Structure 1
Amino acid sequence: MNAQRVDVVVIGAGQAGLSAAYHLRRRGFAPVGRALPGERTFVVLDGDDRPGGAWQHRWESLRMATVNGIHELPGFPVPPADPRASSRDVLPVYFAEYEEEFALDVRRPVRVRAVRRTAEPDAGLIVETDLDVYAAGHVINATGTWTRPYWPAYPGRDRFRGRQLHVHDYVSAAEFAGQTVVIVGAGISAVQLLDEISHVASTYWVTRDEPQWAREDFDIPARVAAIAGVEERVRQGLPPGSVVSVTGMHHTTWSRAAEARGVLVRHPMFTAIEENGVRMPDGSFVRADVILWATGFRAAIDHLAPLRLRTAAGGIRVENSRATDEPRLFLIGYGPSQSTVGANRAGRAAVQQIVADLDAAPAPALRHVSRT
């Protein structure tokens, strides 16, 4: 199959991918389907059936008041919305309007199978999908983490007779009414769902480590220093972890509400899962109907495996969003750009570097390129 030539392939149409596409548009790139002769081109590929990124999959109780101020895409404010409205109802509509406003021509649903090099140095990177193949001068990977929920391995997990689910599959607290729910995890989602579920069920919160609650005066210099720590990790090729793991947990309306009702009680991580509950380090047993794993996500980058960029430590070496060992590849929404604000900035930075590359050494006109 012949590959379609394009200057930039953007993989993913969530916060990071749309930000990158916006900045490509601002710098004069056109979607491949509407480009004039001589114009630089891009294409955005998205695996979802409709716009909205991960927001369309979030649980119903995540309201606009909760996410206000951290989700805005560049150049297009979020229209006023009822703070009580579910974010999964409001934000996908906003994303769809954004794609139309800036004529981003997102192609979906398209599943990217692999990104690989070719035998010809000037042929760029080959992006193979379930529908087409592209020869790209640069690739911006913006696939996020939502499709890769992390399930830790624990003894006896397959023996549990109750229900196990990840935050990825959570819908609402109502389905746990009257039950005992063990909530695993030390992040923001764990605390939010602890507060929510504890209104209708008995909750038992466990974490591997004692949560580090950040001081109230966590200022901008401290925040910048924390993000710099994550940047250094990805620069070295270490797994990025999360910004929260560096900054510590901040008290939120959920944590304060749970604390006020006496349910914000952390227990050490259990040592094993049994048929009807979990075994604690002191040998005691906690009966459970449900185990909810709020254990985070991992970067959805399996399609990059043919590039062989993973270090022995398990990460990809990235500096200023560019893969150190494959400079034609950018990863945004990865490491320090995992936050929505960080993704916007990383999208702009990636495009600036791509433009500089093209201006310095314009890619020659390419022949039809076949997959290798």
Structure 2
Amino acid sequence: MDILDSLVIGAGQAGLSASFHLTRLGISHVVLDSDARPGGAWQHRWDALTMRDVHGVAELPDDTAPPRDEQRANVAVPAYFAAYERAHDLPVIRPVQVDRVEDRNGLLAVRAHEREWTTRTLVNATGTWSHPFLPHYPGMETFLGEQLHTVDYPGPAHFIGKRVLVVGGGASAVQFLGALAPITETLWVTRREPVWRTDDFSPEAGAAAVALVEQRVAAGLPPQSVVSVTGLMLRPQEQQAERLGAYADRRPMFTRIEPDGVRWADGSFERVDVILWATGFRPAISHLAPLQLRSAAGGIQLDRHGRGTTAVADPRVQLVGYGPSASTIGANRAGRSAAKGVQRALSGVRASASPS
């Protein structure tokens, strides 16, 4: 039986970064990716999303990020990732959908249908895109119009002539309203009052926001998005929607969904053709359940007060793209941290195996 020193699950930004650093450290590994082509979650984004629209794609280690221009993000970023894989000869195997990871006599067995890999350590880089969060509201199964989540968003042209209800208080909801309000009728609902930033988002402010996410992860709580603590800001491409009142007319959540609209708490009714759920994502980590990594608080506790990537419950496991590293910039740093964590874990294994 061949035993790998490490195995990376996921070939998005975090997974490629981890593989680069593992290679640099001389650690034998493979990268299992569920997609048939390079690009991570970026290849599944809508066609209308350009590189100018995205919040930023950080450069991969020892490389330069694609330009912020009018290229389609779902073309430019996958091409960037593919070129990076080739340039650094990263050991990516695809398509492989990992079903479960379990302990087997001190080693980690990674199972994918009929295939299996055995490894001493693991870097989980599965992100969130494959695990969209869709809240349940009474009557939603009776709605006769369209219900779409962010993962299903087909681009703004699809919604022309339709009355669109955007649900969610994060950056995606703001971006959707910015694209849709100038071309069709929109409504916006959120569970909480949106928090807008009025100051510049400085590096210091970003570090402070990430620190709040780190505190949750360090306590073993489920991670929240960084934007939940940074607040919302409008970009130049959303200013037309702002002038049209798309953000000023926000309403609290409806109480139920009916076949052709939603019912508000005061009993009034609103007709809508489409409900666009910009309600975020959850970490895609169900395959790790056999390892029992979750704390009593419901999340996976990471080392170094939440700034590291090592699972406290099992130091053989590194998590990147989780909590504070769930961004392209954070994912790069996390990849390096994970490789170092793997190196430490392997040193411990070899030390314990050495004769006294």
Q: TM-score, normalised by structure 1?
A: 0.89
Residue of structure 2 aligned with 1:102, choices 88, 98, 101? 88
Please report how far the alpha carbon of residue 199 of structure 1 lies from its aligned counterpart in structure 2 after TM superposition.
Answer: 2.7
**Paired residue type of 1:236:** A
247-256 vs 233-242, greater mean Cα deviation: 247-256
Does structure 2 conserve the Cα–Cα contact (< 8 Å) formed by 1:322 and 1:329? yes
What is the rounded CA distance, in whole Å, between the counterparts of 2:351 and 2:98 in structure 1?
A: 24
Q: What do you get for the CA RMSD once the two structures are aligned?
A: 1.7
2:350 aligned with 1:362, yes or no?
A: yes
Please report how far the alpha carbon of residue 165 of structure 1 lies from its aligned counterpart in structure 2 after TM superposition.
Answer: 0.8
What is the rounded CA distance, in whole Å, between the counterparts of 2:164 and 2:343 in structure 1?
A: 51
**Paired residue type of 2:309:** S
Does structure 2 conserve the Cα–Cα contact (< 8 Å) formed by 1:191 and 1:254? no
Q: In the superposition, relative to structure 1, how do residues 78 and 299 fare at CA in structure 2: closer, same or farther (>3 Å)?
A: same
Q: How many residues end up aligned between the 2 structures?
A: 348
Q: How does 1:326-341 map to 2 (within 5 A)?
A: 326-341=314-329
Please report how far the alpha carbon of residue 125 of structure 1 lies from its aligned counterpart in structure 2 after TM superposition.
Answer: 1.2
Please report how far the alpha carbon of residue 161 of structure 1 lies from its aligned counterpart in structure 2 after TM superposition.
Answer: 1.0
Q: In the superposition, relative to structure 1, how do residues 363 and 67 fare at CA in structure 2: closer, same or farther (>3 Å)?
A: farther
What is the rounded CA distance, in whole Å, between the counterparts of 2:171 and 2:56 in structure 1?
A: 17
Q: Which residue of 1 aligns with 2:149?
A: 166
Secondary structure, counterpart of 1:354 in structure 2: helix
**Paired residue type of 1:345:** R
What is the rounded CA distance, in whole Å, between the counterparts of 1:174 and 1:218 in structure 2?
A: 31
Q: Which residue of 1 aligns with 2:193?
A: 210
319-328 vs 255-264, greater mean Cα deviation: 255-264
Post-superposition CA distance 1:128-150 (Å, at most 9, x none): 11252122111000000000110
Secondary structure, counterpart of 1:109 in structure 2: coil
Does structure 1 conserve the Cα–Cα contact (< 8 Å) formed by 2:33 and 2:96? yes
2:300 aligned with 1:302, yes or no?
A: no
**Paired residue type of 2:250:** R
Please report how far the alpha carbon of residue 262 of structure 1 lies from its aligned counterpart in structure 2 after TM superposition.
Answer: 2.2
**Paired residue type of 2:70:** R
Please report how far the alpha carbon of residue 23 of structure 1 lies from its aligned counterpart in structure 2 after TM superposition.
Answer: 0.7
What is the rounded CA distance, in whole Å, between the counterparts of 1:135 and 1:223 in structure 2?
A: 39
Secondary structure, counterpart of 1:305 in structure 2: helix
Q: How does 1:107-126 map to 2 (within 5 A)?
A: 107-118=93-104, 120-121=105-106, 124-126=107-109
Secondary structure, counterpart of 1:97 in structure 2: helix
250-259 vs 141-150, greater mean Cα deviation: 250-259
Q: Which residue of 2 aligns with 1:7?
A: 5
138-147 vs 70-79, greater mean Cα deviation: 70-79
**Paired residue type of 1:111:** Q
Does structure 1 conserve the Cα–Cα contact (< 8 Å) formed by 2:49 and 2:72? yes
Q: Which residue of 2 aligns with 1:66?
A: 53
Please report how far the alpha carbon of residue 219 of structure 1 lies from its aligned counterpart in structure 2 after TM superposition.
Answer: 3.0
Post-superposition CA distance 1:221-258 (Å, at most 9, x none): 33222211111111222110111111111222244331
What is the rounded CA distance, in whole Å, between the counterparts of 1:302 and 1:289 in structure 2?
A: 34
Please report how far the alpha carbon of residue 67 of structure 1 lies from its aligned counterpart in structure 2 after TM superposition.
Answer: 3.0
Q: How does 1:1-372 map to 2 (within 5 A)?
A: 4-29=2-27, 41-67=28-54, 69-80=56-67, 83-118=69-104, 120-121=105-106, 124-264=107-247, 265-319=249-303, 320-362=308-350
What is the rounded CA distance, in whole Å, between the counterparts of 2:327 and 2:213 in structure 1?
A: 12
What is the rounded CA distance, in whole Å, between the counterparts of 1:223 and 1:249 in structure 2?
A: 13
Please report how far the alpha carbon of residue 337 of structure 1 lies from its aligned counterpart in structure 2 after TM superposition.
Answer: 0.4
Secondary structure, counterpart of 2:111 in structure 1: strand
Gaps of 5+ in 2: none
**Paired residue type of 2:14:** A
What is the rounded CA distance, in whole Å, between the counterparts of 1:287 and 1:326 in structure 2?
A: 51
Q: TM-score, normalised by structure 2?
A: 0.93
Q: In the superposition, relative to structure 1, how do residues 363 and 21 fare at CA in structure 2: closer, same or farther (>3 Å)?
A: farther
Does structure 1 conserve the Cα–Cα contact (< 8 Å) formed by 2:145 and 2:273? yes
